[in-house]
Structure 1
Amino acid sequence: MIRYFTVLLLTLSFNISAQVPNPKAKEFYDKALKNISERKSVDAIENLQKAIEKDSTFADPYFKLGQINEAARNQENAIKFYKKAIELRPNDPLLTQGYTYIGTRLIKAGEYAKAKEYLSFSVRNVPQNSPVMKQLTRQLEQCKFGEEAKSAAMPFKAAEMGSTINFKNKQYFPVLTADNETLIFTARSDDGDENLYISQLTNSTWSAPKSISEKINTTANEGTCSISADGRTLVFTSCDGKNSLGSCDLYISKKVGEEWTTPENLGGSVNTPFWEAQPSLSNDGRVLYFSSDRQGGYGRKDLWVSELKENNTWTKAINLGDVINTANDEISPFVHANGHTLFFASDGHLGMGGLDLFMTESKIGIYSKPENLGFPINTHEDQVALFISADGSKGYYSSDVKPDIKLFQFDIPAKLSEKFKRASYVKGTVKDANNNQNLSAEIELVDLKTNKIIEKTTSDAVTGQYTAVLPNGSQYGLFINKKDYFFKSLTFNFSEKTEADGKSIDILLDPIKKDVKTVLNNIFFDSGKAELRPESFTELDKLQLLLAQNPSLQVEISGHTDDVGKDAENQALSEKRAFSVADYLIKKGVNPQNIKVKGYGKTKPLVPNTSEENRQINRRIEMSIL
């Protein structure tokens, strides 16, 4: 828009003088105009300077020198000459281009009050409903927003991550695993080569960064990556990579044990001959957000999303829509570990000038209106990207510290933290209960309120390690499944949880055989009642499937209570609850001859009934293979 304005006024302002200049000065000025029409800029500048020497009060040559320097992108000189012209002939509508140029630069410097003075003059002197008027109106909105944002500044203190992490002149785009113990970022060598580096947190100290893998880092540029919550799925950008579809493409690599697989181009569902970069993965690595300037969007660079299908192929990427994307740039998406808060950078939404950081919430695929993160996270300078830890406590970003680019971290201000939900994690190792061998098992996290799978991943085939992320605000069942083994389930009620933490829980899977006994942790009843609550259905359906796949299994469903209340009542309640489970399975097709039902009341506690926490453990449904 501003370039259009420049061209427009260059054509209209060849002779703007309203004063009578020194004749000799006018002669030199006219020569300069002729030089400009002949594209002889050096001669034009020389004649304009001579005109000023003959008459230092002649505004026109100053203004014309401002235009020439603006076109040459010499900001300092452009401002100097425009200001001199305005000083000599203030409030002259023919100098509107100078007012606009200075006002625009004042926004970029964060001087909103002064910018408003200059731009308000311009608004009064350009055609209504013109592209220039739209641009000026938006800039005045930025001035107002910038002033209000500064007046509502949040506590903010960023700190460099130290010389160990900032080991090169330029490093940027940091990402972390859900446990905050693995940091991956891009660093650029002096020769311009970009590579990915990894650092581990041990005893609150980051290790010296090392190349993530020789299979990933090559002589081509690798950078701007994203990592899944467990640190075992990596998507990164390469602009010169093998099998590139053109420009910059996205590549994927998997970590098995301690080794990364050879990266693969994500293919035509994600990549195009256009620019694709700045990926962000969901916790389980099955949803991918990224920025692209491909055709079919709303502006220059838009945000897009693709999902991993069951056959391990990616869906055709779709645009996130015009609630998020604008006619300008939307870049650097980051989906928080809570699964529904999306952060990104944009110069199309209202901000403080240039690129600002925004957040939006997704509910059933519909995004809320993006909200500016506010000052001083956003300033008059460009804010390009942000990463926020799963627990919502820390933010990470890179910033120019001339001549370097360094990584910084900061505590998330309370005003921002309260706007999105935090996420906890559980991690551990999956093993065979008999021989302690590490197992690769399927990990499913189910929202028990909706019975929808919100994460699906596997434990590492070599180490057996797994990580699952549990956002605050719901009740979850974590199911660990492996063929020929009885599944395990864990339950987490985070409906009222506001803080975030991490748990380490190792999983021992029992092979399907006689005398195996397990607690069905996600079977729920109201107090004193035997009717199954809907949150139980996911686990019961998994149990039904297991029994259908193993039709010869004979099982006992047993109910247990704590020691509160009368023995007879506890005995009766435990039997009724066990029958409710058996009835559900039978209605789903399980052979009733294969199910034995037993109520044990309080007679078989797992732990002493000495606390409410222990009593809750003892109130349970068990299944035993007979």
Structure 2
Amino acid sequence: MQKIFTVIFLFLSINIFAQNSKLDAEKAKEFYNKALKNITERKTSEAIENLLKAIDKDSTFSDPYFKLGQINEAARSQENAIKYYKKAIELRPNDPLLTQGYTYIGTRLIKSGNYTQAKEYLSFSIKNVPPNSPVMKQLTKQLELCKFGEEAQKTPLNYIAAEMGSTINFKNKQYFPVLTADNETLIFTARSEDGDENLYISQLVNNVWTAPKSISPKINSTANEGTCSISADGRTLVFTSCDSRNSLGSCDLYISKKIGDEWSTPENLGENVNSPFWEAQPSLSTDGRILYFSSDRQGGYGRKDLWVSQLSENNSWTKAINLGPIVNTNNDEISPFIHANGHTLFFASDGHLGMGGLDLFMTESKIGVYSKPENLGFPVNTFEDQVALFISADGKKGYYSSDVKNTIKLFQFDIPKELSEKFKTTYFVKGIVKDAQNKKNIATTIELVDLKTNLVTENVKSDSITGEYTAVLPNGSKYGLFVNKNDYFFKSLSFDFSEKNESANKIIDIYLEPIKKNVKEVLNNIFFDSGKTDLRPESYTELEKLVVLFKQNPSLKVEISGHTDDIGKDVENQVLSEKRALSVTQYLVQKGVNALNIKSVGFGKSKPIVPNNSEENRQINRRIEISIL
């Protein structure tokens, strides 16, 4: 009898529980329907309250969880959205109706760098969306990103970044660092507690950065000044300022020149560069004549694109042109940085295949055509946003800014070998230009010519007060450096970096001789093959400089002399020197120079400049000279 009563009790308990569960489920459905009505009426608070009540009545009812996930997604409450979506998926796994939740969680896993798990969620989503739809395209790209992220993490670069120290990181937020070609001047943007942005400068003294100071009261103002770029010599500055200084739009680009120790009053770069839209984040070529920047103006390919403008012969900026669809996407391309080599462009993008946010890319420009951008790899790039990269002219150091516990600090790192091998490094030559007679500093124009192509690759000036100049020479070619000034004989220097890969920076003071009797100059960019007398093509740039000199001074009378080292027979050296001098003379005569104004002679080995005791010295002694008679 006892067993019968127990069975009856259990049966009644189960029946009552089932009835209560049914009532709870019905009540949960009632609360859920109320919530749907609340949503239609845009009563979000009431909807959330009813959804939570529905869950309280029936914790196995997945729909309220899913709807709470949608509400929190719309409210950008990521943590809650993921929590509710995951609960809905747990209750109804592999249900195509929950695709939005799978997609949301997968996308957030990408943003945390969990590519493997993100791929699992997104692989489910892509099977349950219409083919050829925008969502399908988005998911396809995200799955490619997951694959790229997984592979990148398997092959990390040798990359260790370090903060630049408290002297440089002297405020709560500092960012967008740039340096001069000699790596001795650092300029960056820093923001004060009240939100005012200004430009600060620091000098490297005895391998230690000095305390940053305001770059100039003419540049920094009550408006925001930031995201700047500096020419190789540190004397041309382009920066961003918003809603100030005769602005054409929200943010414009401005230019200032340094003469001696003083910066000029900044000038708006004008409507060929600026527009009523946002222009910012400039990057100057080493000679300050080509300007890259980011803008959201109309006529681009996406939200923010990269644009370029050049300084014309009349000293005005050309109308900016878009870099095109190889570089720009339908998303954001920002933070351009043209390396000192003149053709490697680094930039940030969330439109090219990357690791989830804004990644850093590089592209090579050849005659205005850009290569397919290449991701710089992990851990230079991570799931977080990376922007504002600067790489030193010698390719050894990288600089950037990054968020650190509610602050923004400047970092530096050694460029990984795998990365440095992908672009050409550069060298620099700097010094002071002086009058050879009175030793006064003088302003000159300085042309850097690639002697393999005879094309001018850089055009800079020496400072009119200090006489200082800096020129950048990319690795991998042979260069002629020509220093020109009216009423002076031009100076030529020769640099062969065709095969060198080690640092070869030089400090050379240049002394220009006035055009007058007894002035003598070595023509450093006249070349012959060993034992030959035919002029090599690399000589044409210097020869044309001579032609121009004679046209400007038609009465000029000169002696062209050939010289050899002490290797070989004296008679042969004498003949070789005479014939080489004659080759130069014949070239000039063919170009219209009066033959009566040129005397051609050879001196063989008889007039060395330096002792013939090394191959380097012998090379110096093998030369063509010009003397004014």
TM-score of the superposition, structure 1-length normalised? 0.96
Residue type at the aligned position of 2:121: Y
Tell me, in whole angstroms, the C-alpha distance in 1 between the residues paired with 2:449 and 2:437: 27
Tell me, in whole angstroms, the C-alpha distance in 1 between the residues paired with 2:415 and 2:600: 53
Deviations 1:330-375 (A, max 9, x none): 0011000011100000000000001000001111111110000000
Q: Could you tell me whether the CA contact under 8 Å between 2:24 and 2:57 is conserved in 1? A: no
Provide the residue aligned with 1:401 in structure 2: 404
Q: Could you tell me whether the CA contact under 8 Å between 1:233 and 1:253 is conserved in 2? A: yes
Provide the residue aligned with 1:473 in structure 2: 476
Tell me, in whole angstroms, the C-alpha distance in 2 between the residues paired with 1:127 and 1:531: 71
Residue type at the aligned position of 1:365: G
Pairwise CA distance, 1:112: 0.4
Q: 2:133 aligns with which of 126, 130, 137?
A: 130
Provide the residue aligned with 1:464 in structure 2: 467
Pairwise CA distance, 1:498: 1.7
Tell me, in whole angstroms, the C-alpha distance in 2 between the residues paired with 1:154 and 1:291: 28
Deviations 1:453-480 (A, max 9, x none): 0000100000000000000011100000
Deviations 1:516-544 (A, max 9, x none): 00000000000001100010010010011
Pairwise CA distance, 1:500: 2.9
Deviations 1:42-97 (A, max 9, x none): 11011111111111111111110110000000001000111111111111111111
Pairwise CA distance, 1:403: 1.1
Residue type at the aligned position of 1:338: N
| 1:163-178 matches, cutoff 5 A | 163-178=166-181
Q: Could you tell me whether the CA contact under 8 Å between 1:421 and 1:498 is conserved in 2? A: no
Residue 231 of structure 2 is aligned to residue 204 of structure 1: no
Residue 301 of structure 2 is aligned to residue 298 of structure 1: yes
Tell me, in whole angstroms, the C-alpha distance in 1 between the residues paired with 2:195 and 2:240: 15
Pairwise CA distance, 1:553: 1.2
Provide the residue aligned with 2:429 in structure 1: 426
Q: 2:548 aligns with which of 513, 537, 545?
A: 545
Tell me, in whole angstroms, the C-alpha distance in 1 between the residues paired with 2:559 and 2:24: 106
Structure 1: 4+ residue segments shifted above 4 A? none
| 1:205-604 matches, cutoff 5 A | 205-604=208-607
Provide the residue aligned with 1:8 in structure 2: none
Residue 108 of structure 2 is aligned to residue 105 of structure 1: yes
Tell me, in whole angstroms, the C-alpha distance in 1 between the residues paired with 2:503 and 2:59: 68
Q: Could you tell me whether the CA contact under 8 Å between 1:571 and 1:599 is conserved in 2? A: yes
SS at match of 1:559: strand
Provide the residue aligned with 1:611 in structure 2: 614
Tell me, in whole angstroms, the C-alpha distance in 1 between the residues paired with 2:388 and 2:199: 17
Q: 1:49 aligns with which of 46, 49, 52?
A: 52
Q: Could you tell me whether the CA contact under 8 Å between 2:175 and 2:388 is conserved in 1? A: no
Tell me, in whole angstroms, the C-alpha distance in 2 between the residues paired with 1:96 and 1:510: 79
Tell me, in whole angstroms, the C-alpha distance in 2 between the residues paired with 1:393 and 1:597: 48
Tell me, in whole angstroms, the C-alpha distance in 2 between the residues paired with 1:508 and 1:240: 46
Residue type at the aligned position of 2:585: A
Shift in alpha-carbon separation, 1:20–1:289, aligned structure 2, 3 A: farther
Tell me, in whole angstroms, the C-alpha distance in 1 between the residues paired with 2:408 and 2:118: 29
Q: Could you tell me whether the CA contact under 8 Å between 1:170 and 1:406 is conserved in 2? A: yes
Q: 2:83 aligns with which of 80, 84, 93?
A: 80
SS at match of 1:113: helix
Q: Could you tell me whether the CA contact under 8 Å between 1:21 and 1:58 is conserved in 2? A: no
Deviations 1:545-570 (A, max 9, x none): 11111111110000000000011100
Residue type at the aligned position of 1:109: S
Tell me, in whole angstroms, the C-alpha distance in 2 between the residues paired with 1:103 and 1:222: 39
Residue type at the aligned position of 1:212: I
Residue 150 of structure 2 is aligned to residue 147 of structure 1: yes
Tell me, in whole angstroms, the C-alpha distance in 2 between the residues paired with 1:240 and 1:556: 61
Identity rate, percent: 79
Provide the residue aligned with 2:194 in structure 1: 191
Tell me, in whole angstroms, the C-alpha distance in 2 between the residues paired with 1:357 and 1:516: 53
Tell me, in whole angstroms, the C-alpha distance in 2 between the residues paired with 1:431 and 1:498: 31
Pairwise CA distance, 1:501: 3.4
Tell me, in whole angstroms, the C-alpha distance in 2 between the residues paired with 1:384 and 1:410: 15
TM-score of the superposition, structure 2-length normalised? 0.96
Pairwise CA distance, 1:385: 2.0
Deviations 1:484-521 (A, max 9, x none): 10000000011112233311000000011100000000
Q: Could you tell me whether the CA contact under 8 Å between 1:560 and 1:600 is conserved in 2? A: yes
Tell me, in whole angstroms, the C-alpha distance in 2 between the residues paired with 1:471 and 1:594: 38
Tell me, in whole angstroms, the C-alpha distance in 2 between the residues paired with 1:21 and 1:78: 25
Shift in alpha-carbon separation, 1:56–1:573, aligned structure 2, 3 A: same
Deviations 1:153-201 (A, max 9, x none): 0111100000000000000000000000000000000000000000000
Provide the residue aligned with 2:41 in structure 1: 38
Q: Aligned Cα RMSD in Å?
A: 0.9
Residue type at the aligned position of 1:187: A
Q: 1:28 aligns with which of 31, 51, 64?
A: 31
| 1:88-103 matches, cutoff 5 A | 88-103=91-106
Residue type at the aligned position of 2:455: K
Residue type at the aligned position of 2:579: K
Q: Could you tell me whether the CA contact under 8 Å between 1:480 and 1:489 is conserved in 2? A: yes
SS at match of 1:22: helix
Gaps of 5+ in 1: 1-18
Gaps of 5+ in 2: 1-21
Q: Could you tell me whether the CA contact under 8 Å between 2:177 and 2:388 is conserved in 1? A: no
Deviations 1:203-248 (A, max 9, x none): 1000000000000000000000000000000000001221100111
Tell me, in whole angstroms, the C-alpha distance in 1 between the residues paired with 2:225 and 2:317: 21
Tell me, in whole angstroms, the C-alpha distance in 2 between the residues paired with 1:384 and 1:416: 17
SS at match of 2:151: helix
SS at match of 2:176: strand
